[in-house]
A and B are shown apart, each in its own frame.
Chain A
Amino acid sequence: MASIEIRNVTKKFGDLTVVDDVSMSIDDGELMVFVGPSGCGKSTTLRMVAGLETTTAGTIMIGDRDVTRLDPKDRNIAMVFQNYALYAHKSVYGNLAFGLRMRGASKAEIDKRVREAAATLGIDDLLERRPKQLSGGQRQRVALGRALVRDPDAFLLDEPLSNLDAKLRVRMREEIGSLHSRIGTSMIYVTHDQVEAMTLGNRIAVMKDGRLQQVGAPLEVYDNPANQFVASFIGSPEMNQVDARLEAAGSGLRLMGDGFAIDLSTARSAGLSAGADVVLGLRPEHLEVLPDGAEDGVEFRMRVDLVEPMGAQTLLLCREGGTSLRVLISRNDGISRGDRVAMRLGDGRYHLFDAASGTTLKSIGTKVI
């Protein structure tokens, strides 16, 4: 077990910079999730930690060892690959035992550890099979088992669940989570699925175009996204983003947009100044539909364009002028297409981003008293 530190790491393939000056530290026993859209450099960063890719610049530490120039075999890490990468010519037992054999463990030791790991993952009755004779979920377990038997300093997992069907994915996600809390080894988990990131990570690292955007606990990132990209990437359904302008109104400020005007109290607008072009970010779950006939506190009046019942919740697509908003409310069978609804920011939650740079000007992600 050990902490991992990534210091100013850069990776170039020819002229193309795919990882750009990334720094972060992963505490001993922490589960860090790298998340970001396809091609943002998550895998490359992970592979540099594993030693499968050289670094163009920067330093990687595991514990207090500088491993930047070490071969993968000398880093004492275990890795789970997206396509499992099982040894097709070996039995499940042989797959699990391979890493231990390479490290010269005794036969008895190997047997004990393999059987323990197999029991933990529920694959003890598959030990004699070949990878070809296993289902996708079983293969995934074997791949995990191969990492587990080794008792490494850190686990590196690159989209380990992306080849499984939706149901199995959720189950394996839970299993990996509980496995991590049981064994307590540091883990880096790569995914492009923000739900996986939110549910699994102790902290998440959001990447885009090779740059680290934000590192933080999942809810911290959800409540206080560092910029427009993080705000839209984390959270589902995606955050609404609407162009607006800040204008002075009395003692406070007013957000003016196409089809809406919102008065911001001084408490809610501290630190902002009038005259700026901004993007208003509203999470669908933070909009509140007001009862019919409400007058007080109405901030939006919109027409319902689409109603998507999702079971416990209902997703509305509302439009007014050039503005459209997705609104997630508790199940409400009384609203139908074409209705007009009055809404406001629930508990006053909203985000403001600078229209030009996308950086966050203000985030009120939790309830304002």
Chain B
Amino acid sequence: MRANFPKLGSKLGYGALLALTVIYSVFPIYWMINTSFREPSTIYTAIEFFPSAFTWENFSTLLELTDYPTWFANSVIVALGTVAVTIVLSVLIAYAVTRLQFRGKTLVIGTMLYAYMFPPLLLAIPLATLFVRIGLSDTLLSLVISHTTLALPLGVWLLWGFFKQIPHDVEEAAMVDGCSRLRAFVLVVLPLTLPGIVTVAIFAFLLSWTDYVFALVMVSSDVNKTLPVGLDTMVGLYELRWGELMAGSTLIALPLFVMFTFLSRFFIRGLAAGAVKG
């Protein structure tokens, strides 16, 4: 009995800690969704944990007042573009690095990760100057390029970890079995790196979808705004309309929820494998 007591205590402790963590991270999200469904007139007058009158009004005014569909489309284009370019480039680079023999390989790849030590703004401003020079400023392409620049180092590093684990034999076996080098790569190597590729895709999507700084610096015209920047124009322009703002945020977060529900297993597996072997 006595021996069980501390066990029970520590179990309760863990439980409480877990509950606190969950509340800490989930509550703001919950509050956002909650607010987006409340009657706009009640938002400033009462604190409600559940909408007393459930309404879609915030969503409809949001769509009426703003270019939300355009921003959404822009965000999708930029995010998918970033994902596509990042995956293609990081697969090619990581594979080349795995098969190439040169001294200080690990160091070079490690150094790539230093890109993440700088605040985004520090990278965004010189990049923006560059884009002005080559006539790409205020385009969605400039955003795709910037986001790719940021997603690529992690992508290469992660996939490198995967490629390293795949024995060269397997590719050779496929070549003897009748594949060209490229076909062996596509049919035998790529499927084995799928968790890694999915992880990189999610990471790139997330980075691009939620990016505010680059979009703010690179894009000025309304038609080229992405969701986070677009939504920001509501602040001040129509005073602080919390209802619409929260409705907009909910819509931004929605694709991420859906994605994580289906792909989180891949994501965790990919991160774990990449990290251990990296």
A: residues with CB less than 8 A from B are: 50-52, 71-73, 75, 77-79, 81-89, 98-99, 102-103, 146, 150
Q: Chain A residues near B29 (CB, 8 Å)?
A: none
Q: How many A-B residue pairs have CB under 8 A?
A: 60
**B15 located at the interface, meaning its Cβ lies under 8 Å from any Cβ of chain A in the complex:** no
A73-B180, A81-B169 given; A87·B188 CB < 8 A: yes
Q: Is the CB of B180 within 8 A of A71?
A: yes
**B124 located at the interface, meaning its Cβ lies under 8 Å from any Cβ of chain A in the complex:** no
**B179 located at the interface, meaning its Cβ lies under 8 Å from any Cβ of chain A in the complex:** yes
Interface string of B155-179 (1 = CB under 8 A from A): 0000000000001011011111111
Instruction: Say which residue of B176, B177, B191 sits within 8 Å of A52 (CB atoms).
Output: B176
Q: Is the CB of B191 within 8 A of A72?
A: no
Q: Is the CB of A99 within 8 A of B169?
A: no
Q: Is the CB of B178 within 8 A of A50?
A: no
Instruction: Say which residue of B169, B172, B174, B180 sits within 8 Å of A98 (CB atoms).
Output: B174
Measured in the bound complex, the distance between the Cα atoms of B178 and A111 in whole Å is: 18
Q: Is the CB of A102 within 8 A of B178?
A: yes
Instruction: Say which residue of B167, B179, B183, B191 sits within 8 Å of A85 (CB atoms).
Output: B167
Residue of B nearest to A84 (CB): B169
B: residues with CB less than 8 A from A are: 167, 169-170, 172-180, 183, 188, 191-192
What 9 A-B pairs come out closest when comparing CB atoms? A102-B178, A85-B169, A99-B177, A85-B173, A72-B175, A89-B191, A79-B176, A73-B178, A81-B169
A186 CB → nearest B CB, Å:
15
- Interface of A, helix, strand, loop or mixed by DSSP: loop
Q: Chain B residues near A75 (CB, 8 Å)?
A: 176
Residue of B nearest to A47 (CB): B172
Q: Is the CB of A52 within 8 A of B175?
A: yes
A87 CB → nearest B CB, Å:
6
A74 CB → nearest B CB, Å:
9
Instruction: Say which residue of B176, B179, B180 sits within 8 Å of A77 (CB atoms).
Output: B176
- Interface of B, helix, strand, loop or mixed by DSSP: helix
Q: Which of A79, A82, A86 has the most CB of B within 10 A?
A: A79
Q: Chain A residues near B173 (CB, 8 Å)?
A: 79, 81, 85-87, 146
Q: Chain B residues near A51 (CB, 8 Å)?
A: 175-176
Q: Is the CB of A102 within 8 A of B169?
A: no
B196 CB → nearest A CB, Å:
13
A89-B191, A89-B192 given; A52·B178 CB < 8 A: no
Q: Chain B residues near A86 (CB, 8 Å)?
A: 170, 173
Q: Chain B residues near A78 (CB, 8 Å)?
A: 176-177
**30 interchain pairs, CB-CB under 8 A:** A50-B176, A51-B175, A52-B176, A71-B180, A72-B175, A73-B178, A73-B179, A77-B176, A78-B176, A79-B176, A81-B172, A81-B173, A82-B169, A83-B167, A83-B169, A85-B167, A85-B170, A85-B172, A85-B173, A88-B170, A88-B192, A89-B191, A89-B192, A98-B174, A99-B177, A99-B178, A102-B179, A102-B183, A103-B178, A150-B177
Q: Chain B residues near A81 (CB, 8 Å)?
A: 169, 172-173
Measured in the bound complex, the distance between the Cα atoms of B187 and A102 in whole Å is: 10
Q: Is the CB of B172 within 8 A of A52?
A: yes
7 additional A-B residue pairs with CB within 8 Å, beyond A73-B176, A85-B170, A88-B170: A72-B176, A79-B172, A85-B167, A86-B170, A86-B173, A87-B188, A150-B177
Q: Is the CB of A71 within 8 A of B175?
A: yes
Measured in the bound complex, the distance between the Cα atoms of B39 and A2 in whole Å is: 84
